[in-house]
Amino acid sequence: MPRVMIANRLEKCNSVDGDPCTISILGEPASKANSRRFVLIGGKPRFIKSKKALSYSKDFEKQCPVLDNLYEEDLAVAMKIYYKSRRPDLDESLILDLLQGKAYKNDRCVKLRYTEWGLDREYPRTYIVLGALDKIDEVISTLKEIVKKKGIMSLDLVSSGIKLLAGGLSLGQHKRKCPECHHTRSKHKHDKSLSINVGSDGIRYHCHHCETSGGWMYTKDDYVPRPIEIRDSDTGNEVAKNYLRGRGIVDTVIDNHTIQGTYTFNGEVVPAVGFPYRDGSQIVAIKWRSADAKKMYSQENVCQDFFNLENYKEGNNILLVEGEMDALTWLGCDLPENLTVMSIPNGAPAKVKDGKVDAREDTKFQYVWRAKKALDSAGEIILCFDNDEPGVALRDEILRRIGISKAKLIDLDGYKDSSEAYGDKG
């Protein structure tokens, strides 16, 4: 997806005597070494901007405001650049070039630079603070304050139509008609070409027809998942219930841990099984799968915690499995009262990643850190993941985070997963 994102100057500075000027830009800049490429034009060698540098320059042009009065005196510039991986070198040279004509008349007036490196795999971005050279301490402190506040992005450059659409959506993936182009289309006027991804830390959108694209961020502390209300009439679908019975799931588990209803997949309403994720007694997310051989999947809101975590009691042992169906299978067995069955909320990784685990950057496994209190209080943590390469990678990744001192492993004796073993052995 093109990384055309929105940003907003947080404070306006009309002269060097005013407060420092602050600019926020979404996107990852190319380093100086990678910002040029060699080409032949008319048979003559030339160095031109790389595709990555051109793309970033285009995005920068859309996002960066132009000061009413460009700086001409000696400047101090402080910035923090967040990259989406650890590979790029810290290099602010392209950004300084692009600020020319936007914040200052010539980059020769930049006499002091202060730059920090950051990592954000989802939202690479740069916070920039400019001020008079004699205000260097204030410039740097302003940058640190912005970073501390997590730099909330403004909605000023987002169209009102997209704001209205995205503002009323729950966490997860959504498809809608694009307010920017659907009224101009002569064909497929009802096509839902706008993809909107609502996450716990921000919103991203992209239209596959007109290429309108962007997003904004907010702090995780500001986001509270919208509870999902399930009425009695929304569950009890016999087709969905019989599908679960056919998988060997007993009725008490079906009634207590699933929603048997209907769901719309790609415009088609079909019987479906919902796996509710709860915060206490409230349902905050639901995973859906069609109750047929098509195996269609979707979800409402983002599943941020272990499935069935709300039933954990302090001091219990924990059995971790790879999917909700495996959890239902185990919940139907004759288990000790002090054993809580829980499933991971997302898929297994393809392989184990190298490098040190940092809880602040461990996006895929945040559910482990969110459940740290429960995991620390558990007597034993038993792992029963799928008997394939991703399942082995998941086992190793979980062990890296919880340690091996109280971990135990279940051997599936050649079966792919718990459901298959139960179906054969009972």
Q: What is the DSSP string of 137-203?
A: HHHHHHHHHHHHTT-PPP-TTS-HHHHHHHHTPPSEEEEE--TTTGGG-SS-TT---EEEEE-SSEE
How large is the angle between the packed helices 418-425 and 324-331, nearest 10 degrees? Answer: 40
Report whether 271 contacts 300 (CB < 8 A).
no
Residue 115, pLDDT score:
92
Q: What is the C-alpha to C-alpha distance for residues 179 and 166, in angstroms, rounded to an integer?
A: 11
Report whether 9 contacts 21 (CB < 8 A).
yes
Confidence of residue 36 (pLDDT cuts 50, 70, 90): low
Report whether 317 contacts 336 (CB < 8 A).
yes
Asked if pLDDT for residue 409 goes beyond 70, the answer is yes
Sequence-distant (≥ 6) Cβ neighbours of residue 77 within 8 angstroms: 96, 99, 110, 112, 113, 114, 128, 129, 130, 139
Checking DSSP bridges between strand 317-321 and strand 381-384, what pairing results, if any?
Answer: parallel
Write out the H or E segment, with its range, that includes residue 94. helix 93-99
Q: What is the C-alpha to C-alpha distance for residues 268 and 271, in angstroms, rounded to an integer?
A: 10
Query: What are the residues facing 259 on neighbouring strands?
Result: 274
- Tens digits of per-residue pLDDT, 358-391? 776 787 898 999 999 999 999 999 999 998 899 9
Asked if pLDDT for residue 220 goes beyond 50, the answer is no
Q: What is the C-alpha to C-alpha distance for residues 210 and 185, in angstroms, rounded to an integer?
A: 10
Least reliable range by pLDDT among 150-159, 182-191, 232-241, 292-301: 150-159
Report whether 178 contacts 209 (CB < 8 A).
yes
Residue 321, pLDDT score:
95
Q: What are the respective helix, strand and coil percentages of the chain, to the nearest 5?
A: 30, 30, 45
Confidence of residue 355 (pLDDT cuts 50, 70, 90): confident
Residue 167, pLDDT score:
59
Q: What average pLDDT is seen over the chain? A: 81
Residue 417, pLDDT score:
83
Residue 229: φ, ψ to 5°: -95, 125
Sequence-distant (≥ 6) Cβ neighbours of residue 182 within 8 angstroms: 189, 190, 191, 193
Sequence-distant (≥ 6) Cβ neighbours of residue 180 within 8 angstroms: 159, 161, 162, 207, 210, 212
Percent share of the chain, pLDDT over 90: 34
Please report, as a single letter, which amino acid is at residue 352: V
The radius of gyration of the chain from alpha carbons, rounded to an integer in Å, stands at 26
- Tens digits of per-residue pLDDT, 250-298? 999 999 999 999 998 877 889 999 999 998 888 988 999 999 888 888 8
